[in-house]
Amino acid sequence: MRSSASIGCGAAEKDIRDCLDAGAACVQIDFTEGRLALKLDPSGGLLRAFIELNNRVLDGFSDQQRKKIGVHTCPGGDRDSTHSADVDYTALLPDLFQLRVGRFYIQLASEPDRKRVLKTIRGLLRPGQMVFIGVTDPIHPKIETPEAVRDRVLEAAECIPLEALGTTDDCGFSPFADDTSTSRETAFGKIRARVEGTAMAGRALGV
């Protein structure tokens, strides 16, 4: 008889494989529970159990396929609130980068000490992996300017190789269907700023 963990891993692998087979450019796994796991169990045991479970799913894919699979981490963003922003990011990252994925989507715009996080990432990033840094904060009602986004990208470029650097939003704008805390206009304004600001940074960096 298969265990519930094996059944769950099989179902997750099928979901990812179906997306890849349908032509998805990449598939993102939501791992907002990572930082929360450290809050619930500061020893790191729960976090490492989650990492192991996710890697069981990822082991079903080839190295080439895993380049198209990424993981998103943040301290939560439901109804403009967080559940684990008080947990030190650098305590999460060493275990997070044990996930056998090719892409990491890292909440960063709302972090109080972005440079410290970026320096930690620089020491963990392996060849062939990419890091997408959060440059807009969906929880904050103010729409970022393209210039603010540009500056965040340039800051990240001081630590992350350009060929491994991308941008993203800190979190989803409506994690659940009934979450209307962020308006459609605000969401698209932030996305527009991310796109324009990233392009401005690219020009400044000559890429």
- Whether residue 72 contacts residue 134, with contact meaning beta carbons closer than 8 Å, is answered with no
* DSSP code per residue over 54-108: HHHHHTTS-HHHHTTEEEEE-S--GGG--SSTTS-HHHHHHHHTTS--SEEEE--
Strand order in the sheet with 165-169: 27-30, 69-73, 103-106, 130-136, 165-169
pTM reported for the whole predicted model: 0.89
Q: What CATH number is associated with residue 118?
A: 3.20.20.210
Q: In the prediction, which pLDDT does 174 show?
A: 67
> Which residues have a Cβ under 8 Å from the Cβ of 173 and sit 6 or more positions away?
138, 182, 186, 187, 190
- Whether residue 84 contacts residue 185, with contact meaning beta carbons closer than 8 Å, is answered with no
Domain total for the chain? 1
Cα 101 to Cα 114: distance, rounded to the nearest angstrom = 23
**Alpha helices, H only, the chain:** 4-21, 33-40, 45-58, 63-66, 89-96, 114-124, 146-157, 184-205
Q: In the prediction, which pLDDT does 6 show?
A: 79
| Residue 156 burial by Cβ neighbours in a 10 Å radius (0-12, 13-18, 19+) | buried
Q: In the prediction, which pLDDT does 160 show?
A: 96
Q: In the prediction, which pLDDT does 146 show?
A: 97
Token code pair at residue 184: 């459609």
Q: In the prediction, which pLDDT does 178 show?
A: 62
133, β-bridge pairs:
106, 167
- Whether residue 171 contacts residue 107, with contact meaning beta carbons closer than 8 Å, is answered with yes
pLDDT values of the chain reduced to their tens digit, one per residue, 207 residues: 567 777 788 899 999 999 999 999 999 999 988 888 988 999 999 999 999 999 999 999 999 999 999 999 987 655 555 666 677 888 999 999 999 999 999 999 999 899 999 999 999 999 999 999 999 998 888 999 999 999 999 999 999 999 999 999 988 776 555 666 778 898 899 999 999 999 999 999 998
Domain that holds residue 128: 4-205
How is residue 162 annotated by DSSP?
A: G
Write the Ramachandran bin of 76: left for phi over 0, alpha for psi from -120 to 50, otherwise beta: left
Cα-Cα-Cα-Cα dihedral sign, residues 139, 36, 103, 89: positive
